[in-house]
Amino acid sequence: MRIEDIVQLILSGLVTGAVYTIIGLGYNVVYSATNVFNMAQGELLMLGMMTGVLFFVTLSWPVLVAVALVMLFVGAVSVLGDQLSVRPVARSATSLTWILSTIAFALIIRNVAVLIWGSEPLPFRQILPVEPIRFLGLRLAPQGLLVIVSAIHGKALVALAQDREAAELRGIDFRRMSTLAFLIGGAIAGFGGFILAPLTLPSVAVGELYTFKGFIACAIGGLGNNKGTVFGGFALGVIELFGAQIVGNNYRTTAAIAVLIAILLIKPTGLFGQRALRQV
């Protein structure tokens, strides 16, 4: 393999990884406010794609209007998920029932989406020019660059939300914090879905995979740690692509889970995680 090929592969890995990062950041913002991982995060990304199809392709509204509506809508669905699947079961602090209830909410989102959009992939319109940026013999689609930049700036957005939560911690009640976190978490996922859509074929089937991969991004970096999640997401994207080169494209997920288990066995709190006390 030539050196340019390797760098090109890393670039593609970074684009994929940026999507994982965006989902991972969505997990983090919810987690830091509520100690819950919203297992519907990947389905929210899918919903971002599909509502993107509706507003941007079917209705062909201007891109900024479409993206704002997508973020608002997906954020609202996320808040609904909080109301339906997290609030009712989160009464006791040690209970893990929310894993099941948020998975259930994810299933509801997916099945409703299948009813609305069908299970076939849908075409999407290009947002940016398709002509790749060429640099030193490397190629990167402008859309890919946008995804990478968004992932890095998403970290700042999430950090802002988390800081605000920390600042308002003393005055504001838990429920409003939780609603805000779910709203932002959903909006991030919706935005991620919208900007990812031109790079892939939007389909209702992708959610589960992104739920898992985004979570691995968090777990690699340390749960709730934004810097770690950004690193974890990009690292996962690159590792996965190299793994796919070696063992075949259909084993990407296998490579991802192998990396996850290996890292967790070596360092259970993630690479950037702090030591945690075991709760009794």
Partner 1 sequence: MALTVLPHAVNRYYLLLVETVIIFGVVAPGLNILAGYTGLISVAQAGIFAAGAYSVAILTTEVGLSFWPAALVGISLGAAIGLILGIPAMRLGHFYFALVTLGFALVIKDWLLEWAGLTGSFSGIVRIPKADVLGYRFTALDDHYLILAVGALALFFTHDFTRTRWGRSFLLVRDSEVVAQALGVSPFRTKLLSFLIGSVFAAAAGTVYPYVTQGSTRSCSPWRSRCSS
Q: Tell me the two tokens of residue 211.
A: 């739920």
Q: Which of residues 257-276 bind partner 1 (CB under 8 A)?
A: 257, 260-261, 264-265, 268
Closest C-alpha to 25, from 16, 37, 13:
37
Closest to partner 1 by CB, 105 or 191 = 105
Interface with partner 1 by CB under 8 A: which range of 21-29, 65-73, 84-92, 97-105?
A: 97-105
| Residue 269 CB, nearest approach to partner 1 (Å) | 10
Closest to partner 1 by CB, 159 or 209 = 209
Residue 80 in contact with residue 181, Cβ under 8 Å? Answer: no
Helix (H, G, I), strand (E, B) or coil at 248: coil
Query: Does 111 participate in binding partner 1 (rule CB under 8 A)?
Result: yes
Closest to partner 1 by CB, 211 or 226 = 211
Closest to partner 1 by CB, 9 or 209 = 209
Q: Which of residues 189-218 bind partner 1 (CB under 8 A)?
A: 205, 208-209, 211-212, 215-216
Residue 243 in contact with residue 19, Cβ under 8 Å? Answer: no
> Cα–Cα distance between 125 and 194 in angstroms, integer?
11
| Residue 39 CB, nearest approach to partner 1 (Å) | 8
> Cα–Cα distance between 110 and 75 in angstroms, integer?
16
Taking CB under 8 A as the criterion, the residue among 20, 37, 117, 191 binding partner 1 is 37
Phi, psi angles (nearest 5°) of residue 35 = 60, 25
Query: Does 280 participate in binding partner 1 (rule CB under 8 A)?
Result: yes
Query: Does 179 participate in binding partner 1 (rule CB under 8 A)?
Result: no
- The residues pairing with 139 across neighbouring beta strands, listed in sequence order, are 134
Taking CB under 8 A as the criterion, the residue among 58, 60, 119, 126 binding partner 1 is 119
Q: Tell me the two tokens of residue 179.
A: 């609603």
Write the interaction track for partner 1 spanning residues 226-255; mark x where CB under 8 A is met and - where it is not. Answer: ----------------------x-xxxxx-
140: left (phi over 0), alpha (psi -120 to 50) or beta: beta
Helix (H, G, I), strand (E, B) or coil at 238: helix
Helix (H, G, I), strand (E, B) or coil at 29: helix
> Cα–Cα distance between 130 and 30 in angstroms, integer?
34
| Residue 280 CB, nearest approach to partner 1 (Å) | 5
Write the interaction track for partner 1 spanning residues 57-96; mark x where CB under 8 A is met and - where it is not. Answer: ---------------------------------------x
Q: Tell me the two tokens of residue 63.
A: 């891109």
181 alpha carbon, distance to own chain's centre:
14
Query: Does 22 participate in binding partner 1 (rule CB under 8 A)?
Result: no
Binding site for partner 1 (CB under 8 A): 37, 96, 99-100, 103, 107, 111, 119, 205, 208-209, 211-212, 215-216, 219, 248, 250-254, 256-257, 260-261, 264-265, 268, 280
